[in-house]
Structure 1
């Protein structure tokens, strides 16, 4: 859950801050209000006289979005010394105390300020002020497209600037998107959509959004790797690290999968402390989730069962059921078995 904090300087601003906190909480967002000591009521968070700058610096480092109900100039001067880079800075949004305008000030794309500015405008009736070129030209930015699928691509700052500039100027940028990823990406304004890689015109920038390997490498091509895959794992007790890594490599090779595309791996709870599973999760920085046999039985009937596995852990299949249950979708691969390990793949129902 993203964490919002609202800071205000005046009585009118404090009133807007409390109202906005309530509306954000109705959207299931975590929201705090921080005011000066003279404005704070009951158990509200406050800062002492003379501690405004120190307080806003702390909030900048602790929250995902800092909403400042005050003059833009105050915010700019106060935060100038702590701003680092758009890839790590939180979103910063500015509002006036009458909630007339809400301004996306900092980290509009990567930090989410543009998206949250629109949300706050909707909740308060304010006019959203967004100056990012791709937004004003109504085209989809490369970094926002990637964010929608938790995607990664190389040379982030350089490629983002280059492609977003071309899109904002109305120049041609091609996009190839795997058909099974289209449900995650509804807005593709500005891109020329290709139905196949063979349609690519040499010399035209091409964005490939795919969890698969084997695509061309060229200065024209940027490969966005989405994190949408869930790996289900079953294994014998105490399989080695080498066996686990070898099986994972074979599984990825068979399906031409890039390891960066895995959002999480899943197994049964009795395998929670299996060293080789933990090793795989830590080595590839993949979140590991574990489920009870009763949970996995809810979906295990979709897949072939093993009497031995059923007798041992209480569910007839582990890899297939775990991938299904963790993703909310049925498997997109057949069960793979080797080195006393089984694996199966599902894709996240939603991101």
Structure 2
């Protein structure tokens, strides 16, 4: 970054505050060099992009790429963007990447505090677990591709939140293995933020998994992760997880019988006793029955009673 001088960073209040928070006693230039935040040039060491994002007083003005976050509130559950659907003009959040994360969280929480929508004739609040929103937002900021000239876009709809982060998934990460594999596009950013006390990230590859678990706790479906032409789109739906009973009945509408093992497989719920209890409730309600009452317990198969009566 030829436009930025080392002194610009060393004298920045953001850098001075960081040094105080991590209690570093190193010489500022030595600290930056050892943290791989400087690049050697013919004229000496220069701050790199990660350094500017972390410590520059106006990184959005300094960098020749867009690196802000835009927040929208759209009063619709549709997928077509129209300006007249905006509740207010999109808000642009600038600043260092750490400050962006906290400022966006505050703005989103304020929007959600009185966000409602109509479902089945009833007014419902748009409510999501804060930790899930935090993890997905942090993931978008620290893993985006900063070489792409675009901002992160956070769109709050009546039935979902969409977070669009520039750049495809890094390395060998895919939507299918993202919960199991780890790969950091911006390791310097991840490390520097993690080194802070009470960091925004924990750097153990658990961010999206934590988000999924937090959504599960309140009965909402897991985030939908998709790759577009040049970005990653994560959608947090305000959609309830189907109960085990509903999963069983839906499966039996398409198949002649079902087993405990099959329901554990398709529901992702590995608790054999919880699935067993769901089968017992449906049997008690007269909705399903055993195909063979004399079968061993581990060989139980269940079928819909209504379909049997219809055939008779």
TM-score of the pair, normalised by structure 1: 0.24
Which of the pair has the greater relative contact order for Cα pairs under 8 Å at 6+ separation?
2
TM-score of the pair, normalised by structure 2: 0.26
Q: Which structure: greater strand fraction?
A: 1
